[in-house]
Each structure stands twice: as structure tokens, then as C-alpha cells.
Structure 1
């Protein structure tokens, strides 16, 4: 509960709690302020105009300009409070998680169109604070934890089935009286080895039938200190033993203050039945035999009652695991990150380089290279390329925000933030290749495999900035350079694109060939068209060469471009699309050159006529002929793009439009598109024939007359 006084009115005070209340009489009476949402945390009042308010609640930030009579909606601010993150194996991969007071969701890591909108996400289960477990190859069925319940969510039907190990309702009860103590965000994981589900109360529970039945496979794996386990205040019951741990505070009864619970569970990706747990009161356990035997392997120097936030088990070595732990709830903002290589027999602190008090909630190992680690902190993200011996921040454009979870997926780093929703750091494959040698010299890193992924240009207003897509070219410069260029060539060595306006500073730099397209048509300067002129064909699947040229010295790598896994087009159809668009593009380039030639001839003829009035009539006839030709090719009477909406489109615009339509999606050009191009080619050939007839006829005569002695001294 927060009390906020109006700085301009001593009688007005607000109370932010589950409801937002306001008193205009110094607190004698209160009236509710309807924001449309609940669970209010903070309120800012403009000191110069107290009718202007910014209110923060579980859903996000709301703004009012009339002292709370009307508010903006929470979905206008990207402020989702995510707790956890899971990913699937689709392309593009989807991110799953629960957001405070707004249910569980799945969001695509890349939009279908050019903007990330509502069509790129969907609701899953009703959870607001739990984990999402799933078979990454079958993401239509999800297992989602929430408070002390669990749901099985079927996306096809939209149904949520309760599959909790215990259906008992424990709101308001003390943990000392509970059969199973499930934390507010209790863990649930899906085993890639057996398809079993594992979840945690104070015990580890296992289900082999998607939650229909559960088996306890561990003893109590929490510290279960009596002073942290409150007795329920029942009628006539002596609760004096609850002691000073809780003090005068009334704790939340929904599960976020229940203690002595398993907070995190992780199974080895290399070996089934190798399972680790971490409790909210400071214990780490491991079993190597699927729960038959458990061993307490808590780091010796880990302070008592530390919350084990995440355990990540290595993709490269069975005995290696990483622990991230926090103690901010007891006013200790220290860094607690540990690594073991021997199943927890010994531990090493790995905290060097992490900023003071920037405590770590999660550490993840990169599946692509042993020793590359990512850490999510209270303010952002760190990376280590030496197995945690040293860390450095990789904040970039990520806001300073608590990072609660992260996953490496398809070469990207996805993170769940508590206040800014999901974020993705694109292409972390460069960290998998970095060595002391590559970082000390000029080096072109090998680009990762790229999938063709082109998007429609229209859509709803964006909900978030879409991820870039294309060929990521990462290069290191040993020192500042004067000139840096990057060239892309096909397998035969033919140059496709060249980029020259690049970063020249020493260190790691990046270029993204975002659209993966060949150049468009040769353009005419200062001439608008109604249609999109970006009509270069998409590069076909295959192997391409990337060349980095730094002050004249060349470095090369190959990059593989693959077909979109979602595409149903055949290779032959993609080739025909490429050929067709190339033919249309080349026709546009030729037509633009023809237009320039027509205009050059007009300038020549009118210039001669201006100097020799005897040729004025002939010049007017030629100019009329030229305009008749140009009028077919281009809307010369339009000076800016919007004029095209009121004026007739001509051949250049029609060709641009045809190429743009043929580029939509992975498909060969339609029969109608092929036929229309034949018609446009015939029209263009008629223009070329007419221009040729003019040049060899009337224009030749005009030039001959202009060159006769005494007629004019204007040069040909």
C-alpha cells in the first residue's frame, strides 16, 4: 500500500493498493478511482498540474489528463511483467511465459508482416505467474503452473484442464499446515528424454501421463526451518511459535510468501534422470538416477536462506551446472553465481565483472559452445566467453530492467523481463566464435545459416519493434579503419550487393543485409511513383560469398541461405519467381533509360529551334511525337507521389506494381502475371519502334537541316 499526497492540494490524498482510492477531505472519506485495472503500486502527480497523473499497476502504466476520470489503456505501453520463459522449435520460434495479472501468452520472435502485431501472439493458459513446460516440437499442448495449481492447455480447443498434484485450496493457510507447499511461481519442466513432467512443491513430483497422476520422487528438498513455516491462526490455536520471523507483517496468502519450497528444477539435456533442484531457502540437490537417490550439494559458502533462482545444466558436460541465487528479499544485493564441473561436489564463484548490487536471477549456457554464458541481472544482461571467469555487459538498446529468465533459441538470445515484456538479441553466434585471437585482430566471423523470410509491407499499428532479419555479418576491426566495405556475391563470383557506409571503429561491428535482395531497377532521379520501387528479386537458396574489405585488404566467408521451412514452394517455382522479377526489373531499367533518351532528344531539338526559328514548326512536331511516346511510359505530369492517386498510371508504374505483386510470398508468378508482362513488353516494344522510326526519320531530317550552312550554328 502506498500513500501519495497531491503536491498542490493538502486535502487530496491517494491510496494505491488493490484498488486506487482518492480522498478530497484529508482522508476522512475515500472514493475509488476507476482505472480499469487492479493491483496499484505507484502514482506520479504533476507538481505543476495535478490533473495530470501517471499510475503504475500490475498491467503497466496508465496516463490521465483529467485527474483520473479517463485513462489510457495499458496495452499502449510495452510494460508486461514476465516471470519465466520457454521456447519451441518452430520457425520462427515462439516465446512462452506468464505475465503479472494478464495471463500466459505465446509471442513469435519474428512477425508475419513488417510489423509485430496482435496476429503474432496468442493467449495460452490463465496463469499470471508460473512456468510453461512444453514439448518444443508439439507446442499446441502446454503445461502451465500458477499460484499452487497447474493447467494443461490445449491450443486447438482453447481448454484449460486442472492437473495439479494437489487440488487443495490453501489461500490464507500457513505453510506449516500444508501437505504440499507450492510457491507462487513453482517450477514445471518437460523431459526431452522421456516426455515426463516434473514439478516441485517441497517435493519433486513426476507425471508420465501428462498430469493425470503424479508420483512423489523425492524427500523434502527444502530447509524447512520451523521459524519460516507459519502456523495457520485457527480458532483456539496457540500460534505464538510463529515467532519473530514474520513480525507484525500480514503476509500475502496467495503463495508468493509461502516458504520452504522448491523454486527451480532442471534436467540435464545430455542425460535423462539427472535432475537438479534449488529451494527458496538455500538448498541445492541433485539426483543422477531419476529420483532414487538425492544428494545435498549446496555450495558451502552460500548464505543461509538464499533463494536459488535458476539452475542451468550444461549442454556439453554432464557434471557441469550453473546456479544463480538472490538475497535481495533480506536486503542483501550481493552477486551469487556458482559453477560446478563435478555434479556439485565442489563449486566456484563466477562473479568477476558483474556490477556491484546488480544481482543475478538467471544464468544460461550457450548450447553452441561450451564456456559461453549469459546472465540476466536486475538491470540487464551480461555475457562471459570464458565459462564465467569474466563477465561484460551487453546492454545495447535494452532498457535497464530486471531480467527474470532467458533462453538461447535458433542462434538468438531471448529474455523475459519484469516490466518490458520479451526481448530478443539477434544472432549470438558471434559469441560462439570469439577468441582472444579474433578479438585482437581484424576478423570476419562466419555468418550463421540464414532462412529466407520476407514479409508483407502492411499491417496493424506495431505493438513492438520487429526483429531484424537477413544475413548478419559480424566483423572485428583491430584498429580504426579509413574505409570498410562488404560485398555479397553468388556462387559463380558475380557481385550482388556492395555496402560501403559501414562502421569503421575498432572492435566488434555488424552489418545486416536485411532484405536479402538483388538491386532493384536503375532509377530516375526525382521521379515519384505510386508503386513501391523496391523490386529487386530475393536471393535464391544456396551458398553465397561474403567479402569484407578493410583499407584494401580482403577477408572472406561463405554463408548458406535456406528456404523458409514454412514455404510450400518448390525450388523450380522460386527460380521462376527470381527470373520473372529480374526480367520485369530489367525492363523497367531499360524503360527509364528510354525516358531519359526521349528527354535528351527533346532538349536538343528545342534548343536548336530556339536558335533557328525556321526549324520551330519541325521541332514542335518532333516534340509532340516525343510526348506521345513518353506519355505511354511515365506519368510526367506528377510532381509528387500523392498526385498518382488522381492521375493515370503509366507503363513504369504498372511494371513496378507487377514486380511487387510477384514478390509477395514464395510462389512462381501466376498465369495472369505472366500474361500481363507479355502485354507490357509488347507495349514497350511499340514505343521503342516508334522512337526508332522518329530517330531515323524526322529527327534525322531535322538534324541535317540544322547542320546546313547558314541555317544554324547550333552543334548537333
Structure 2
């Protein structure tokens, strides 16, 4: 055990407190106050202490380190402002040599066991740092009068080294992400704390960036299946990757085709103008979850199955509208033509049949949030709402959920069967009649 006192003394015991030895650093000024002691997680004989003398009008930083149980000490304050007195020093338990120091006016960091320090202020206010602690790769900072602050991902610091300094791009391995619910407000509150982003947080670095550069991030299963992809050139808003020169952060909500990814190992790839690098990462269950991973799998399969059905229905609706547009064009061209009278009548009936399928699948009259009060939702909307209810938490679908899903899916499949029959039979008959009449497909009016 190591002990520091308010009158500037440091003692150590190796026998559980039976005997103590004074190991106070010989170079430390008298009457210093030992504010924190940090034994090393890597070497038994290594320890750092932070001391202050501001009550005596001395605002200089005092940090000392020993590697031999206090027999000898070294002062480690190079790089810290001469008037930023040090209140606390902490060692990162995951990377040897990585130290954090809290001073009266902010934060400092060292990658070489305190031989050199650099400011680590980031967006932290200029405020006294009274204590530091590290938990689950998060650095928690206690301040005097400005609340608690957190650097919520130290894994990037763990991966930094000199070999990456000259690289054109660097992709850092994402920290383990929890499969959980929750969200982050787009605009940070000025009066409340902000939640951690919900999803996989990917950090990457771009040494240079020009308008012609193509940058993409892709998340895949270990088997290679693409779950989500984003690009800085994408015209789709939800697929647009925002990038800048220097450090970048991207958050993937862990959703592939609607369902949240299951706990397990995945891969993320950064592609810069055709040059790709990859890192693996883990999605882990929320420790607060009240269900097993097997139950989560049932939910995942349920949602995935429904999404597949809805996607088929949506595609059929798009095809119906394309077909009806072509049928309208035909009617406009040949209406009043005696030769095509029967075919125009057939087109009218075909449109009615296609529209019946569309109206069964989707409420075509809804234009605002109030419209469902007057125009009931249809099959697709009902099935989609069931999905949203089951996806609220990690719980598997109930028997009632499954029963409703089977009923709605059966009705949708029935409509899709009608659609496929129309496509395979009615359209084939129309095309055959069109060709037999030797009608013009394209013509220019005089």
C-alpha cells in the first residue's frame, strides 16, 4: 500500500500495514500536499504521485514517479504549464505508458510515462480538475463547479503510435458496442448532459481530403454480407458519409435491413479512392437486458421476415404504378381508334385489377398525419406497425404477435399472387394483341 499525507509525506507498506517506510521524494518541496497516488497496473514497484503547494502561493506542477518502490523518484512535469498546478494523475490500465493529469486549469496527457506532456483539453472548459478515474475504456473527469465530463472512448488513444503518423488514412478498431435502445439529440442541450451515441462508433483519420476523393465506410458480417454502406458522394441523405480532413467519427445504428444486428463479431472497412482497410468489432448484449441472446435471435428473425414481406409488397406497388403509367399512355395514344377499341377496354379492366391490389396493400389516399382517421391503413402499414411494436425492446415476439404476422402475411401473399397472375397472364395477352394489331409503339405527331 502507498499512502500520501497533507503535510507532504509519502509512505509504503509491503506487509499489510504492519510496518511503514517513509519514501517521500527527496526533491519535493517541504509542506507539499499529496493530492493523489497512482500505483501502476503494470509494474508493482512503479507509482506516480501528484502534489500541490498552491496554499503556500506556489502554483507550479508537482508530479513524481518511482519504479523501485520509492527508493528513487523522478519529477515528470515536462510540457505542463508552470502555473498549472497538478491535482491528480492517473494511469491508463490498458496501455502502458499512457498517463492523464488533471490540473487547476485543465487536462494533460502523456504517451511516454510522463516524460513529456501535451494539453488534452478538447472541448472541456477551463476548469479545475479535482479527480480522474477510468472505467470500461471511459475517462471520467470530476471538475470543480462544472459537473462531470467523460471521454467515452479511450480505445483510439490505445491504438495511436508513431507508425500511423505518416499514413494517408487510418481506421481505428471500434470499441465494443451494446445492442440497446436509446438515441442522441441532434443539438446538444445547454442545460443537460448528452447520451452516448447508440450504435457502433467508428473513428478514422484522413491526412488530406479533396473534392474528388471518394470515401466510403462499409459494415459487414464476418461471412461478407453487407449490412450497411455509406459514401461521401452518395445522393441519398441516409447513406451520405460526412467527412473532413483530420479526425472523423461515424455512428452506425447497427441496423441492416431494419432489424438490429445480433450480438457477435462484425467487420468495418474504410475505402479511400479504392484503397481499403478493415477492422473487426463486437456488438454485445445490453447487460440490463431481461432476455437471452436466443430470444434476441427470435426477435431478429421475426423482424427480418416481416421486412422481406414488406419489401416484396413495396416492389409490387412500384411495379403496379409503372404498369398503370404505361397503360395510361397507351389509352391516350389509341383512344377513339376503332381498331384498338377492344384493347382499350381491356386496358381499363387491367388498370382496375392492378389498382385493387395496390389499394389492398397500401392506403393510397393518405397524404397527411390526419388522413388515417378517415382512410384506414392497409395490409403493409399494419404489418409495418407490428414490426415497430416488436422492435421497441429486446423481447421476442409473443404468440399473438406471431399470429397477427401470419394472418397479415397470408393476406399480402394472396394479393401478390393476384399481381403475379396479372403480370404473367393479362400483360402477356395484352402484348400479344398489341403485336397482332401491328401497332406503332413510338410515333411523332404532325
Short-chain TM bin: 0.7 to 0.9
After TM superposition, the structure 1 = structure 2 runs for residues 302-321 of structure 1, keeping only pairs within 5 Å, are 302-321=28-47
Q: Tell me, yes or no, if structure 1 residue 586 matches structure 2 residue 308.
A: yes
Corresponding residue of 1:450: 177
Match in the other structure for 1:82: none
CA distance in 2, matches of 1:587, 1:408: 47
CA contact (8 A) 1:438 1:476 kept: no
- Residues 319-358 of structure 1 aligned to structure 2 (within 5 Å): 319-358=45-84
2:192 corresponds to 1:470:
no
Partner of 1:549: 271
Give, in angstroms, the shift of residue 705 of structure 1. Answer: 5.5
Matches of residues 601-616 of structure 1 in structure 2 within 5 Å? 601-614=323-336
- Deviation per CA, 1:377-427, whole angstroms, max 9, x where unpaired? 334332211111222233333333332212110111112222332222112
1:494 to 199, 202, 225: 225
Task: Please tell me whether residue 636 in structure 1 is matched to residue 375 in structure 2.
Answer: no
For 1:648 and 1:541, the matched residues in 2 are separated by: 38
2:270 alignment partner, SS class = strand
Who is 2:238 aligned against?
none
1:292 aligns with 2:14: no
Query: Quick one: structure 1 residues 503 and 327, their matched pair in 2 at CA, closer, same or farther if it must change by over 3 Å?
Result: farther
Aligned residues: 422
Q: Which residues of 2 match residues 15-54 of structure 1 at below 5 A?
A: none
Whole-angstrom distance in 2 between the partners of 1:397 and 1:646: 51
The CA deviation string for residues 458-488 of structure 1, in whole angstroms up to 9 with x for no partner, is 9xx9942101243333344455473332222
Q: Please give the alpha-carbon distance, in whole angstroms, between the structure 2 residues aligned to 1:490 and 1:336.
A: 50
Which stretches of structure 1, 4 residues or longer, exceed 6 Å deviation after superposition?
none
Query: Structure 1 residues 681, 338: closer, same or farther in 2, change over 3 A?
Result: same
The Cα offsets for residues 24-79 of structure 1, whole Å up to 9 and x where unpaired, read as: xxxxxxxxxxxxxxxxxxxxxxxxxxxxxxxxxxxxxxxxxxxxxxxxxxxxxxxx
Distance 2:376 2:421 in 1: 26
Q: Distance in 1 between matches of 2:354 and 2:128?
A: 67
Q: How much has 1:500 moved relative to structure 2?
A: 2.4
Q: Taking structure 1 as reference, are residues 710 and 446 closer, same or farther at Cα in structure 2, changes over 3 Å only?
A: closer
8 Å contact kept, 1:439–1:478: no
**Alignment check: 8 A CA contact 1:611 1:712 kept:** no
> Who is 1:655 aligned against?
383
Q: Secondary structure at the match of 1:298?
A: coil
RMSD: 3.1
1:391-430, aligned counterparts within 5 Å? 391-430=117-156
**Where in structure 2 are the equivalents of 1:188-227 lying within 5 Å?**
none
How far, CA to CA, are the matches of 1:451 and 1:571 in structure 2? 13
Q: Which residue of 1 aligns with 2:3?
A: 276
- 1:612–1:711 CA contact under 8 A, matched in 2: no
Deviation at 1:361, TM superposition (A): 1.8
TM-score where L is the length of structure 2: 0.83
User: What residue number does 1:516 align with?
Assistant: 254
Mark the CA change 1:686 to 1:374 in structure 2 (over 3 Å): closer, same or farther: same
1:679 aligns with 2:407: yes
The alpha carbon displacement at 1:506 in A equals 5.8
Would the aligned equivalents of 1:275 and 1:290 in 2 still touch at CA under 8 Å? no
Are the equivalent residues in 2 in contact too, given 1:278–1:310 (CA < 8 A)? no
Native 8 Å contact 1:311 1:324 kept in 2: yes
Deviation per residue, 1:583-608 (Å, 9 max, x gap): 11111211111111111112111222
Report the secondary structure of 1:686's partner residue.
Answer: helix
Higher helix share: 2
**Separation of aligned partners in 2, 1:365 and 1:648:** 62
Judge conservation of contact 1:383–1:391 (CA < 8 Å) in 2: yes
Gaps in structure 1 of 5+ consecutive residues: 1-273, 521-535
Secondary structure of the corresponding residue to residue 363 of structure 1 = strand
How far apart are the structure 1 equivalents of 2:199 and 2:358? 38
* Corresponding position of 1:216: none
Aligned-partner Cα distance in 1 for 2:371–2:111: 56
Question: Structure 1 residues 560 and 631, CA, compared in 2 at 3 Å: closer, same or farther?
Answer: same
Structure 1 length-normalised TM: 0.54
Helix, strand or coil for the counterpart of 2:409? helix
**Structure 1 pair 359/706, CA: closer, same or farther in 2 (3 Å)?**
farther
| Cα distance, 1:428 vs structure 2 | 0.3
SS across alignment from 2:102: strand
Give the CA deviation at 1:706: 5.2
Inter-partner Cα distance in structure 1 for 2:47 and 2:148 = 25
- Residues 705 and 420 of structure 1: CA distance in aligned 2, closer, same or farther (over 3 Å): farther
8 Å CA contact retained: 1:707, 1:713 = no
Q: Distance in 1 between matches of 2:414 and 2:436?
A: 32
Aligned to 1:588, the other structure's residue is in SS state helix
Q: Are the counterparts in 1 of residues 156 and 172 from structure 2 also a CA contact under 8 Å?
A: yes
CA contact 1:608–1:714 (8 Å) conserved in 2: no
